[in-house]
Amino acid sequence: MTADDEIMAIALEEARLAAAAGEVPAGCVIVDIPSGEILARAHNRTETLHRPTAHAEILAIEEAARRRGNWRIVDSALYVTKEPCPMCAGAIILARCSRVVWGVADPKRGGASVFDMFAHPGVNHHPAVQGGVMEKQCLEVLQTFFKTRRKSK
């Protein structure tokens, strides 16, 4: 198991907490790159908090910024089970995360795969990106959640 897999496994734990709460199962972990310390972990809470911005990435970025005492969270790596949406990609760019790692791509709303936000020449920060880490496990959590949801309706 690689270091990326170990952190993504923690993000998957968060995603499962989201699913158990009836939230779309996305989980996020932010790590300080030099020390390897976890700065924040979160899962989607849009339904619970009645906030359209309460995505796992946004909640984790806010917590990491609080812990750092600075809205810039440079030298950090953000791990998320599903590719960030455009809102979250924008927040990641603004927060200056150094690296973004996701499990499963979002071919409908992906901030990278659809909108190319992380590489766009008009933005002032370009984090390193990597997709496909523990992709099978991340996809399984999402598919199970939506299959269960469809059956209950």
Q: For every one of its 153 residues, what pLDDT tens digit does the chain have, with 9 covering 90 and above? A: 899 999 999 999 999 999 999 999 999 999 999 999 999 999 999 999 999 999 999 999 999 999 999 999 999 999 999 999 999 999 999 999 999 999 999 999 999 999 999 999 999 999 999 999 999 999 999 999 999 888 877
The span from the first CA to the last CA of the chain, in angstroms, equals 38
CB atoms within 10 A of CB 138: 26
Four-point Cα dihedral 70, 115, 15, 48, nearest 10: 70
Catalytic residue, candidates 57, 62, 135, 140: 57
Cα 101 from Cα 83, distance rounded (Å): 8
Residue 57: active-site member = yes
Phi, psi values for residue 34, rounded to 5°: -60, -40
